[in-house]
Amino acid sequence: GNRIDTSLVSRHKELQREVCDLTEAEEQLDELISKCTLQLRLLTEEPQNNRLGYVRCQDLRQSFDSPDQLVMVVRAPPETQMQVTEPSEGYQVSLRSTQGPIDVFLCPEDSSGVC
């Protein structure tokens, strides 16, 4: 069984090294993810960006450009919960906010550019 031993030992070593590399890679990813999350928050919260962070009604219409589509916009405070039923149980959406009222409106189809 000596040969099996050697191959097992080398396999073992190899696996150990791989797991070690993966651990390092994962730690690197964790760090990048938390940095990126913070950057994104600072970016969107910055007042000038916050003011300029909008889409036009025409952008929405072009994004869902099928003439057959009705486009509803939902603007809700943070931590609003959205629940969707299983398709087999019907098509239902519920919204529940705790921090303020929810706004829902339709995206108009006419080209006036006004919501």
Partner 1 sequence: IGLPTNSAQECQNLEVERQRRLERIKQKQSQLQELILQQIAFKNLVKRNKETEQQANRPPPPNSIIHLPFIIVNTSKKTVIDCSISNDKFEYLFNFDSMFEIHDDIEVLKRMGMACGLEVGKCSPENLKIARSLVPKALEPYVIEMAKGPISNVYITGGSSAN
How many residues touch partner 1 under the rule CB under 8 A: the total is: 70
CA-nearest of 98, 106, 39 to 115 is: 106
Kindly state the tokens that stand for 70: 């009705």
Can you tell me which residue has the tokens 């889409």?
A: 55
**Smallest distance, Å, CB 86 to partner 1?**
13
**Smallest distance, Å, CB 85 to partner 1?**
9
Angle made by CA atoms 56, 50, 66, in degrees to the nearest 5? 25
Q: Which member of 70, 89, 110, 111 binds partner 1 (CB under 8 A)? A: 70
Residues 27-66 that bind partner 1 (CB under 8 A): 28-30, 32-33, 35-37, 39-40, 43-44, 49-50, 52-57, 59-60, 62-64
Q: Which helix (H) or strand (E) holds 6?
A: helix 2-45
Give the phi and the psi of residue 28 in degrees, each rounded to 5: -60, -45
Give the phi and the psi of residue 54 in degrees, each rounded to 5: -140, 160
Positions in the binding site for partner 1 (CB under 8 A): 1, 4-5, 8-9, 11-12, 15-16, 18-19, 21-23, 25-26, 28-30, 32-33, 35-37, 39-40, 43-44, 49-50, 52-57, 59-60, 62-64, 68-76, 82, 84, 87, 90-98, 100-104, 113-115
